[in-house]
Amino acid sequence: MSAPSQSTSERLEQLLDVEAFPPPADFAAQAKVTDPGCYEQAAADAPAWWAGQARQRLHWQTPFQAVLDDSHPPFYTWFADGALNASYNCLDRHVNAGHGDRVAFHWQGEQGEQRSLTYAEILADTQRLANALKAQGIGKGDVVGIYLPMIPEVVVAMLACARIGAPHTVVFGGFAPSAVRERMEVSEAKALITTDGARRRGKTAAIKEAVDEAVDGLDTLQTIIVVRSTGISCPMRDGRDHWYDKLLAAADPE
């Protein structure tokens, strides 16, 4: 008779004592860093090693001098006197390095739609949306809500906000529109980027129409930008609502 198999609880109990889980050999072979000496350097002086990585791999508008402030644990601060822009580091530095034609990501929609977006294409849309937001009175410190399904415009929206210093609050596309009102109200968002509709499991939900009902009477929300994702008709309020594609077409490209 064979020995009884180990129970799941017993296996989990054993794993609690395991401190390291080495990756599979074929996965480790694809690592970008192959010199084992870097681990020794990082262990010997972690702040110095990370400072070197930050200077080598990121573009800083204001180079940092301070590396790690650990004087108030558990509240640690890295590179406090430096300044950088996340949008620039995600896009511009790759385009400036000659990689603009390289695909940044592939996207496939619910109905089989496919798009492959390069760094240069995302940068172009991001710059235009950033300028469109500024034209709507959105600036540094103003909160922008993002309520979109998993479409490429999500990336552009987040990077455009980062580009002009506008904090964004993402409302998960699976949440009900009532969650949009709560987030917009609490954050006092001045703008919201949403969509005409969203496809899920073969059905199309009227997102913009539901959003209108949810945010009705919310005076702080001055601008709503609508992405034509599904092509369904939706109400648009003059002066407040704007089509995403029209704003980008009219915006300054730089």
Q: What is the pLDDT of residue 5?
A: 63
CATH class of 126-250: alpha beta
Q: Quick one: pLDDT at residue 13?
A: 86
- Using DSSP, state whether 112 is helix, strand or coil: coil
CB 72 within 8 A of CB 79: no
Going from N- to C-terminal start, the domains of the chain cover: 126-250
Q: In whole angstroms, what is the distance from residue 51 CA to residue 211 CA? A: 45
Supply 24's token pair: 């599979």
Phi, psi of 227 (to 5 degrees): -85, 130
Residue 215, H or E segment: helix 207-215
At residue 111, the pLDDT reads 83
The pLDDT of residue 1? 47
Question: In terms of C-beta density within 10 A (0-12 exposed, 13-18 middle, 19 or more buried), how is residue 157 classed?
Answer: buried
Q: List per-block mean pLDDT (blocks of 10 residues) for the chain, which spans 254 residues.
A: 67 86 90 86 95 96 97 96 97 96 94 94 98 97 96 97 97 89 96 93 89 93 96 94 97 93
| Residue 112, pLDDT score | 86
**DSSP one-letter string for 81-95:** T-B--HHIIIIIHHI
| Preceding peptide of 74 cis, ω within 30° | yes
Helix (H, G, I), strand (E, B) or coil at 165: coil
Q: Which residue is listed with tokens 């479409």?
A: 151
- Any idea what the Cα angle at residue 216 is, between residues 162 and 205, rounded to 5°? 75
C-alpha span between 196 and 243 (Å, rounded): 9
